[in-house]
Every structure is written in C-alpha cells, then in structure tokens.
Structure 1
Amino acid sequence: MDGIRQKMAQLRTEADESASQVEELKLKVKHLEQENLSKEQEITSLQHRNQTLEAEVEKLEGGIKDHKEIASKSAQADNQAESLTRKVQLLEEEAEESDKNLRELNEKLRQTDVKSGHFERKVQALEQERDQWEAKFEEMSKKYNDTKKELNDFLAEIGTI
C-alpha cells in the first residue's frame, strides 16, 4: 500500500506536472496563434502595400516614359533653336556685309556724281569753246572768202590793165 500510495503520489505529481506543462503549452500555442495571426495580418498588409507600390511603380514608369519623350522633344527643340540661332547669326553677318557694301556703293555713287558734275562742266566749257572756234572759223572763212574775192577782183583788175 505504501507502494501504491507512493505510486499515486508520483502519478499525482506527474499529473500536476503534466497539467502545468499542458497549461504552459496551451499558453505557448495561444501565443504562437496570436503571433501567427499578427504575421498573417502583416503579410496581408505587406501584400496590399506591395500592390500599391507596384501600381506606383507602373505610374512612375509611365511618368518616366513621358519625361523621356519630353526630354527628347526638348533636345530636338534645343537643336532647332541652336540651328535657328546660327541662321540668325549668319543672316546678321550677311546684313552687316550688305550694309557695308551699300555704304561703299553709296560712297562710289557720290564720287561718281561728283565726277559726273565735273565732266558735265568740262563738256559745257568745251562746247562753249567749240562754239567760239566755230564762230571764229566762220568769221575767218568769211574773211578768207572776202579776201579771195578781193584778190580775184584785184587780179582781174591787174589782168585788165
């Protein structure tokens, strides 16, 4: 009987220990279930966040594509602006060259006008001198003819004498 009592006491102790282990294990299971639930909630939250981030990535990739297109257009516009700037610069240089040539031509025209006026005066002076020489020639021609007539008359008179 003592042996049975000991055995019973031992079984009670083991039962108490088992009960306390069950309680501990129940607490551990409860704690692990809570952890599992919190991990599942975290997974759900992270999946939602991942979906949100993927949507944002797609949106940003679309924005990057748009910005690349804008940058390409901007580069084209810059190239076109640079080309137009060079054209403007060339046209300005040509305009300056044309202005310089125009000034030179105006100066030459002025000098030609001055020379033309000088030569016109010279022509007028020469025409006046020619007219004087013609008048003198006519006068001398008339005197010559008169003198010739007088000489012929004189010779005719002498010839009759």
Structure 2
Amino acid sequence: MDKFKEKINSLRAESDANAQRAENAEAELKKAREEIIVKEQEIISLTNKISLLEAEVERADKKISDLKSAKEEEESTSNTTEALQRKISILENELDTTEKNLKETTEKLRQTDVKAEHFERKCNTLESDKADLEKKLEELEQEFKKKNEELEATLKQIDEI
C-alpha cells in the first residue's frame, strides 16, 4: 500500500513537473512572439524612414536641377552668375551630404535587411521549436492520460480488494 502511495505521489510530482515545464515553454513562446512583433514594428519604422529620405533626395535633386536652370537663364549678368555659382556650390555640398546620408541610409537598409533575414530565420527556428514543444506537450498529455487511466485501474483493483 505504501509503495502504491509512493508511486501515486511520484506520478503526481512528475505530472506537476511536466505541467510546470509546459507553462514555462508557453511563456517562452509568448515572449518570443512579442519580440518578433517589436522587431517587425522596427522594420516598418525603418522602411518609413527610408521612404522619407528617398523623397528628400528627390526634392534635393529637383532643387539642384531648378537652380541649374536658373543659372543658365541668368548668365547675362556676372553678379547673378556669381550668386548662382555660390548657390550651386552650397547645393553641391548639400548633395554630397544628401548622398552621404543616402549611402548611410542604404547601408542601414542593408543592415536592416540582414537583421530582418536573421529575425526571419530566428522566427522560423522559434516556430520549429514551438512545433516541437507542442508535439512534446501532446506526448506528455497522452502519457499523463495513460498514467491517469493506469491509476484509476489500480484504484479500482484496490477498491475491489
């Protein structure tokens, strides 16, 4: 009888441990999903920033072409030409700065793409881990049901005795 009670207690402890492991696995899965959502939001934010910077580059390019047209129209006076040359110089500096920013943004985009690929791989790994954990949970639940049935059968046998 004592052995039976010890076995029951052992099975209960094992069941409790399995339930705790399942809860821990679910918590980890939830945390991983939340991290994925945050990373996806970061990617969207960076994509929006890239779009804004590209629009800014287009505006700068348009500004440069407009100023060059103005320079050609007003070449008749040397003072105007000098003023336009100064403007062009400033715009070229701005263009260099904008191109530098564009290169930096392109590099950031590349890094973001690399990170996105990394997170996609990580997401796939997490999903695979999730599937494995769910399969393991199902196996543990089946084992728990089997143990429960064995326990009930044993209890019936004890009652019959």
TM-score (structure 2 length as normaliser): 0.52
Q: Which of 1 and 2 has greater Rg? A: 1
Q: CA deviation at 1:150?
A: 1.1
Query: What is the rounded CA distance, in whole Å, between the counterparts of 2:82 and 2:111 in structure 1?
Result: 43
CA deviation vs aligned residue, 1:89-126 (integer Å, no higher than 9, x gap)? 11111111111000000001101111111111111111
Aligned 1:48-127 pairs, distance under 5 A:
77-127=77-127
Kindly provide the amino acid, as one letter, of the partner of residue 92 in structure 1.
E
After TM superposition, give the deviation of residue 87 of structure 1 in Å.
0.8
Whether 1:133 and 2:138 are equivalent positions in the alignment is no
Looking at structure 2, the residues matched to 115 and 131 of structure 1 have their Cα atoms a distance apart, in angstroms, of 24
Match runs of 1:137-156 below 5 Å: 137-156=137-156
- 1:14-66 per-residue CA deviation (whole Å, 9 max, x = no partner) reads xxxxxxxxxxxxxxxxxxxxxxxxxxxxxxxxxxxxxxxxxxxxxxxxxxxxx
Runs of 4+ displaced beyond 3 Å: none
Indicate the percent of aligned positions where both proteins have the same amino acid. 43
Structure 2: distance between partners of 1:106 and 1:131: 36
Structure 1 unmatched runs, 5+: 1-75
**TM-score w.r.t. structure 1 length?**
0.52
1:80 is displaced (CA, Å) by: 0.8
Distance 1:138 1:86 in 2: 75
Q: Quick one: distance in 2 between partners of 1:81 and 1:133? A: 74
**Structure 2 unaligned runs (5+)?**
1-75
Structure 1 vs Structure 2 CA RMSD? 1.2
Higher relative contact order at CA 8 Å, sep ≥6: structure 1 or structure 2?
2
Q: Which amino acid aligns with 2:149?
A: K
